[in-house]
Amino acid sequence: MSLLAEELVMLLVKGSRVVPSSKPTLICTVWTKKLYNPESFRAHMKSIWKTRRKFEIQMVGQNLFSIVFELADDLELILEGRPWFFHKSVILFDRLCQVVDRDQI
């Protein structure tokens, strides 16, 4: 993702709303108070998730990520494989099906 695209995603969140993609989408957070590198999170997930098609992870807020899948089956595979962990902290997921206010996540 280009820096401009990432900035646009952040602007969307600053508007206090998160908008889903037209493709199957999850919203997730790492349940931790520790700081971590979001790029490290992306790399870790891409290395452990064995999906049939690509997926994109976008940061949409502090400790908040949108994961867009090419296939609904890949999204289901990830949800069925829970719990997932990052640096010994559980990752919480929910489907993103409609526009949601950030304070409702």
Question: pLDDT of 29-41, one tens digit each?
Answer: 999 989 999 999 9
Confidence at 45, pLDDT banded by 50, 70, 90: very high
Q: Which helix (H) or strand (E) holds 80?
A: helix 72-80
Cis amide prior to 83 (ω within 30 degrees): yes
The model's confidence at residue 21, banded by pLDDT at 50, 70 and 90, is confident
Domains of the chain: 3-13+22-98 (3.30.70.330)
* 67-80 pLDDT per residue, tens: 999 999 999 999 99
Q: What are phi and psi of 12, to 5 degrees?
A: -60, -40
